Amino acid sequence: MKVAIHTLGTRGDVQPYIALALGLIERGHRVQLAAPDQFESMVRTHGIAFAPLPGQFLALLDTPEGKAAIASGRGFGAGLKLLKHVRPMMRALLDAEWKAAQAFTPDIFVYHPKAIAVPHMAEALQRPFVLASPLPGFTPTSAFPSPMLPFKDLGWLNRISHIAAIRGADLLFGKILSAWRSEQLGLTQRRTPAVASSGTLYAYSSHAVPVPPDWCRDVLVSGYWFLDSKSWRPPDDLEAFLAEGQPPIYVGFGSMPGLDPDRMTATVFEALARAGKRGVLAFGGGALSAEQRARHVHIIRDAPHDRLFPHMHAIIHHGGAGTTAASLRAGKPMVICPFFGDQPFWARRVQELGVGFPLNRRALSVERLTAAIAAMDDPLMRHQADALGSMIREEDGVATAVRFIEAAANNRLAEP
Domain membership flag for residue 101:
yes
Q: Is the pLDDT of residue 58 over 80?
A: no
The confidence score (pLDDT) of residue 340 equals 84
Mean pLDDT of 158-165: 89
Based on the domain organization, do 274 and 212 belong to the same domain?
no
Domain membership flag for residue 366:
yes
Based on the domain organization, do 296 and 403 belong to the same domain?
no
Rounded Cα distance between 220 and 407, Å, is: 12
Domain membership flag for residue 160:
no
User: What mean pLDDT is reported for the chain?
Assistant: 91
Whether 300 and 279 have beta carbons less than 8 Å apart is answered as no
pLDDT band at 114 (very low <50, low <70, confident <90, very high): very high
The confidence score (pLDDT) of residue 411 equals 81
User: Which position has the higher pLDDT, 110 or 60?
Assistant: 110
Domain membership flag for residue 416:
no
Based on the domain organization, do 119 and 34 belong to the same domain?
yes
The pLDDT tens digits for 381-400 are 999 999 999 999 999 999 99
Domain membership flag for residue 144:
no
Based on the domain organization, do 196 and 292 belong to the same domain?
no
The number of domains in the chain is: 2
Based on the domain organization, do 402 and 353 belong to the same domain?
no
The confidence score (pLDDT) of residue 50 equals 98
The confidence score (pLDDT) of residue 255 equals 80
Domain membership flag for residue 140:
no
The confidence score (pLDDT) of residue 348 equals 95
Q: What residues make up the domain containing 369?
A: 236-393
The pLDDT tens digits for 307-350 are 999 999 999 999 999 999 999 999 999 999 998 889 999 999 99
Question: Residue 140 contacts by C-beta under 8 Å, 6 or more apart in sequence?
Answer: 159, 162, 163, 166, 214
Based on the domain organization, do 69 and 194 belong to the same domain?
yes
The confidence score (pLDDT) of residue 78 equals 54
Phi, psi at 48, each rounded to 5°: -105, 135
Whether 87 and 131 have beta carbons less than 8 Å apart is answered as no
- Tell me, letter by letter, the H, E, C secondary structure of the chain: CEEEEECCCCHHHCHHHHHHHHHHHHCCCEEEEEEEHHHHHHHHCCCCEEEEECCHHHHHCCCHHHHHHHHHCCCCHHHHHCHHHHHHHHHHHHHHHHHHHHHHCCCEEEECCCCCCHHHHHHHHCCCEEEEECCCCCCCCCCCCCCCCCCCCCHHHHHHHHHHHHCHHHHHHHHHHHHHHHHHHCCCCCCCCCCCCCCEEECCCCCCCCCCCCCCCCEEECCCCCCCCCCCCCCHHHHHHHHHCCCCEEEECCCCCCCCHHHHHHHHHHHHHHHCCCEEEECCCCCCCCCCCECCEEEECCCCHHHHHHHCCEEEECCCHHHHHHHHHHCCCEEECCCCCCHHHHHHHHHHHCCEEECCHHHCCHHHHHHHHHHCCCHHHHHHHHHHHHHHHCCCHHHHHHHHHHHHHCCCCCCC
Whether 221 and 206 have beta carbons less than 8 Å apart is answered as yes
Strands 108-111 and 49-53: unpaired
Based on the domain organization, do 291 and 308 belong to the same domain?
yes
Q: Is the pLDDT of residue 185 over 80?
A: yes
The confidence score (pLDDT) of residue 75 equals 47
The confidence score (pLDDT) of residue 165 equals 81
Domain membership flag for residue 301:
yes
Q: Is the pLDDT of residue 304 over 90?
A: yes
Q: Please state, as a whole number, how many other Cβ atoms lie within 10 Å of the Cβ of residue 51.
A: 21
Based on the domain organization, do 191 and 293 belong to the same domain?
no
Rounded Cα distance between 108 and 177, Å, is: 21
Domain membership flag for residue 139:
no
The confidence score (pLDDT) of residue 62 equals 63
The confidence score (pLDDT) of residue 416 equals 43
Based on the domain organization, do 261 and 387 belong to the same domain?
yes
pLDDT band at 174 (very low <50, low <70, confident <90, very high): confident
The confidence score (pLDDT) of residue 259 equals 74
The pLDDT tens digits for 245-296 are 999 999 999 888 777 899 999 999 999 999 999 999 998 778 898 888 899 9
What is the percent of the chain with per-residue pLDDT over 70, rounded to a whole number? 92
- Which CATH number characterizes residue 124's domain? 3.40.50.2000
Among 45-59, 90-104, 131-145, the range scoring the smallest mean pLDDT is 45-59
Q: Is the pLDDT of residue 200 over 70?
A: yes
Encoded amino acid at 310, one letter: P
User: Which position has the higher pLDDT, 172 or 19?
Assistant: 19
Based on the domain organization, do 192 and 300 belong to the same domain?
no
Based on the domain organization, do 265 and 122 belong to the same domain?
no
Based on the domain organization, do 355 and 389 belong to the same domain?
yes
